[in-house]
Amino acid sequence: MSALVCGCADKNDDSVKMITEATFPPYEFLRGQEIVGIDVEICRAVAQKLGKDFRSETVDFDSVIPAVISGKADLAAAGITVTEDRKKNVDFSIPYVKTGIVVIYRKDNPFKDKDQLKGRKIGVQSGTTSEMFVTDELKQEPERAKSPAEAVAALKAGRVEFVIADIDPAKNCVKGEETLAISDFITSEEYAVAIRKGQPELLKAINETIAEIKADGRLAKWVKEFTEESDKLKEK
Ligand code: ARG
> What is the model's pLDDT at position 14?
87
> What is the model's pLDDT at position 153?
98
> What is the model's pLDDT at position 64?
98
> What is the model's pLDDT at position 65?
98
pLDDT at 3 over 80: no
pLDDT at 185 over 80: yes
| Nearest residue by C-alpha to atom 5 in ligand 1 | 128
Dist CA 172 CA 231 (whole Å): 6
Sign of CA dihedral 39, 86, 19, 32: negative
> What is the model's pLDDT at position 79?
98
120-155 pLDDT per residue, tens: 999 999 999 999 999 999 999 999 999 999 999 999
The finding on whether 77 has its CB within 6 A of some atom of ligand 1 is no
Q: Which domains does the chain have, with CATH numbers?
A: 15-97+190-235 (3.40.190.10), 101-182 (3.40.190.10)
Dist CA 92 CA 101 (whole Å): 20
> What is the model's pLDDT at position 235?
78
pLDDT at 12 over 90: no
Specify the amino acid at residue 76.
Answer: A
Alpha-helical (H) ranges within 83-199 are 84-87, 129-132, 148-156, 167-174
**pTM (whole model) above 0.85:** yes
CA of 108 to the centre of ligand 1 (A): 28
> What is the model's pLDDT at position 7?
43
Residue 127, classified by CB atoms within 10 Å of its CB into exposed (0-12), middle (13-18) or buried (19+), is middle
82-131 pLDDT per residue, tens: 999 999 999 999 999 999 999 999 999 999 999 999 999 999 999 999 99
Q: How crowded is residue 211: how many other Cβ atoms within 10 Å of its Cβ? A: 13
SS3 185: coil
Candidate from 18, 19, 24 with most ligand 1 atoms within 8 A of CB, to mutate: 24
